[in-house]
């Protein structure tokens, strides 16, 4: 059946009418009846309180976990710092124990090594690096 045909058939049906005085009786009953307490309000309040407590507990638990993880990271960082300081102390001691060598190795390749004997270099206080000079460009 087509929608238009069905709609026309439904419009042709007689309309249902309320009995005489229906509206007045309904309004009178509404005026007489005491308001009923809403039975779901205490349940809703209990559910909301339970939810708030559960969320607060979960938040506290998460905070405690984050603090524990942070404390573990801090402890690890402090341990690494102690190890670095100990290593620094060992290296510093080794450097201080090294004899002062008058020979400096500057590098090289497979065929040539560049070594300077510092005893052969004149010591002067007025020597400046080439980067401080303007005529090098």
Q: Render pLDDT for 48-83 as a digit per residue (tens, 0 to 9).
A: 999 999 999 999 999 999 999 999 999 999 999 999
User: Per-residue pLDDT for 134 more than 60?
Assistant: no
Domain that holds residue 107: 38-121
* pLDDT > 70: percent of the chain: 88
**How confident is the model at residue 5, as a pLDDT?**
84
User: Per-residue pLDDT for 36 more than 80?
Assistant: no
**How confident is the model at residue 29, as a pLDDT?**
86
CA 65 to CA 126: how far, in whole Å? Answer: 62
Mean pLDDT, the chain, rounded, equals 84
Phi-psi region of 108 (alpha: psi -120 to 50; beta: other; left: phi over 0): left
27 in any annotated domain: no
Mean pLDDT value of segment 36-42: 76
CB 106 within 8 A of CB 118: no
Quick: pLDDT tens for 82-105.
999 999 999 888 878 877 767 778
80 in any annotated domain: yes
* pLDDT band of 118, cuts 50, 70, 90: confident
Q: Which two tokens stand for residue 135?
A: 């005529």
2 in any annotated domain: no
In the chain, the number of structural domains is 1
The predicted model scores a pTM of 0.40
105 in any annotated domain: yes
128 in any annotated domain: no
**How confident is the model at residue 132, as a pLDDT?**
53
CB 45 within 8 A of CB 53: no
* pLDDT band of 128, cuts 50, 70, 90: low
């Amino acid at each position: 059946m087509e929608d238009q045909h069905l709609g026309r058939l439904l419009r042709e049906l007689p309309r249902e009418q309320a009995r005489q005085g229906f509206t007045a009786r309904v309004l009178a009953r509404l005026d007489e009846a005491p308001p009923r307490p809403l039975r779901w309000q205490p349940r809703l309040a209990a559910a909301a309180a339970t939810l708030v407590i559960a969320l607060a507990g979960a938040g506290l638990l998460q905070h405690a976990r984050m603090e524990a993880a942070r404390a573990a990271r801090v402890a690890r960082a402090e341990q690494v710092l102690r190890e670095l300081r100990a290593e620094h102390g060992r290296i510093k001691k080794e450097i201080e124990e090294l004899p002062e060598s008058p020979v400096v190795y500057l590098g090289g390749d497979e065929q040539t090594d560049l070594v300077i004997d510092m005893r052969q270099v004149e010591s002067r206080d007025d020597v400046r690096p080439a980067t401080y000079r303007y005529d090098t460009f």
